[in-house]
Amino acid sequence: MEREQTSISKVEQAFISKAIEKYLTEFNGNRNLKTFVDFFSQQVDPDGYVDVKLLSRKMYIYTHGEYSRFLCADDMIDIRDDLVCFDLKGLETHPDLQGIIAIIITGLLWDLMERNLSH
C-alpha cells in the first residue's frame, strides 16, 4: 500500500524531531521557520532512510512560497490583549494552511493557559 504523497513516515517524523533538537542546540542566529529549513536541508540521514532534500522541498512553500509572508513574518501577533480573533474560516481555500494555523493557535492558547495556571 502506497502512502499518501503529502504525509510523512514515522521515520521521517523522528528524523525531523532530532533535527529540531539539534537546531535548537546548535543554531545561534535568528531562529524562525526559514532558518530551520535551511539548517534542516544541510542534515544527512546516515542510514539513508530519509530523503532530506525532498522533505526540504515540501517545506519550501511555507518558507519561500505563497505562505512565507504569513509564517515567516518578522512581526508577531500580540496576544496579550483581552480579546484576540483568528479567522480560520477565511482560510478555507487553503486547507493545508488552515490546519497549520489551527495547530499554532492551539499551541499559543496552551502556553497562555499554562502561564495563567502558574500565577
pTM of structure: 0.66
Q: Categorize the per-residue pLDDT at 10 as very low, low, confident or very high, splitting at 50, 70 and 90.
A: very high
Over 50: is that where the pLDDT of 36 sits? yes
pLDDT at 4 over 70: no
In terms of Cα–Cα distance, which of 75, 86, 82 is closest to 112?
A: 82
For 36, residues 6+ apart whose C-beta sits below 8 A from its C-beta are: 20, 23, 27
Q: What is the mean pLDDT of residues 33-46?
A: 93
Model confidence over 40-85: pLDDT tens digits? 999 999 999 999 999 999 888 888 887 787 777 777 667 677 777 8
Answer whether 44's CB lies under 8 Å from 27's CB.
Answer: no
